[in-house]
Amino acid sequence: MAVIGVGIDVVGIDRFAETLERTPALRQRLFTEAEAARPLMSLAARFAAKEALAKALGAPQGLAWHDCEVVNESSGRPRLLLRGTVAAAVEAAGAAHVHLSLSHDAGVASAVVILES
């Protein structure tokens, strides 16, 4: 296995909250129904995860926000559920494994995505 892409993103939680307040429809545009019901810090981390994945892929055009969903395994470990446009982009990149790490602390949410062949 070889690393074929790495992406990282950092989101200011207060700034993200202001953006969601200014544009309420953004929550439904960016997140699946299950994601949208989560608390603000979790939403910010999930947004960072989607941005980090796009960066790991080289920021291709045409990715649909809902085609990438952050879910949690029973252990609490986050993982990306990919479908449609995002699954196709990951496959085209030759990635067989997608690794995700999330964090939020001190007013900042972050995510790292690693794509492996």
Per-residue model confidence as pLDDT tens for the chain (117 residues) = 899 999 999 999 999 999 999 999 999 999 999 999 999 999 999 999 999 999 999 999 999 999 999 999 999 999 999 999 999 999 999 999 999 999 999 999 999 999 999
Q: Phi and psi (nearest 5°) for 97?
A: -135, 135
Sheet order of strands, 3-12 included = 3-12, 108-116, 97-105
Range of the domain at 74: 3-116
Angle between helices 40-56 and 13-22 (to 10 degrees): 100
If one counts the domains in the chain, the total is 1
Q: Residue 100 sits in a domain of what CATH number?
A: 3.90.470.20
